[in-house]
Chain A
Amino acid sequence: SAVISQKPSRDICQRGTSLTIQCQVDSQVTMMFWYRQQPGQSLTLIATANQGSEATYESGFVIDKFPISRPNLTFSTLTVSNMSPEDSSIYLCSVEGRQGRGTDTQYFGPGTRLTVL
């Protein structure tokens, strides 16, 4: 399994500002994913970040609001732009990894808990 770290672990921000979340993996991975988990809810995929190409966004998420960078195979950033209280969530980075018998699965970072006032 991959070891994934995220910075910051938590932050409290003012509405209208932006926050960039970093995700670092201890090995090279092709696919990295960004999820949002609103309070008391399950995970929703924001986008898939591929190295060397633009991120692929899911329905309801746009690049202007959630710009993503993927400069190399071990690092990605997600920016939450022009924040509002509705953006208060846990943001999770995830990577694709391979288990035994060639099964692909996803491993998650510890998350970034964002509160927007």
Chain B
Amino acid sequence: TQLLEQSPQFLSIQEGENLTVYCNSSSVFSSLQWYRQEPGEGPVLLVTVVTGGEVKKLKRLTFQFGDARKDSSLHITAAQPGDTGLYLCAGRKVNDYKLSFGAGTTVTVRA
């Protein structure tokens, strides 16, 4: 079983719609990262959240870290075809240098 449960596994939506990806765990994390990976490339860091209850906005992307630092969500408003990719959450447990990755969510935005 994975430390971080990511859902849904696949998401296909029409351009202009909104979407939310969830990342849940029973463990507490000192920080949580979200990455986006396009085919043939390495994951690109989108954001790091470190404070319980923190909300960060990156243009049309909104990231939230749960109050207990066990879960996170990524919300995309008015999705565009350029948002298509594999979204990965990754958490760093307290006093651990390693990242644990979720299984990933494949997002497809249709024009």
Contacts and interface: CB of A to CB of B under 8 A. Distances in A.
B25 interface: no
B41 A42 contact: no
B103 interface: yes
Interface in A1-58: 1, 4, 31, 41-45, 48
A78 interface: no
Interface residues of B, number: 22
Contacts of B102: 42
B45 interface: yes
A104 B29 CA distance: 13
A42 B48 contact: no
B42 A108 contact: yes
Contact of A105 (B42, B48, B88): B48
A94 B98 CA distance: 11
B65 to A, nearest CB: 12
A101 B50 contact: yes
Residue among A4, A92, A113 with the highest chain B CB neighbour number at 10 A: A92
Interface in A76-117: 92, 96, 99, 101, 103-111, 113
Interface in B19-43: 31, 33, 35, 40-43
A95 B104 CA distance: 20
What is the predominant secondary structure among interface residues of chain A facing chain B?
A: strand
B40 A113 contact: yes
A1 B35 CA distance: 14
Given A92-B43, A106-B45, 20 more contacts: A1-B45, A4-B42, A41-B103, A42-B88, A42-B104, A43-B90, A44-B101, A45-B99, A92-B42, A99-B48, A103-B31, A103-B50, A104-B31, A105-B31, A105-B33, A105-B48, A106-B33, A106-B90, A106-B99, A111-B41
Interface of A: 1, 4, 31, 41-45, 48, 92, 96, 99, 101, 103-111, 113
5 contacts: A41-B104, A99-B48, A105-B31, A105-B33, A105-B45
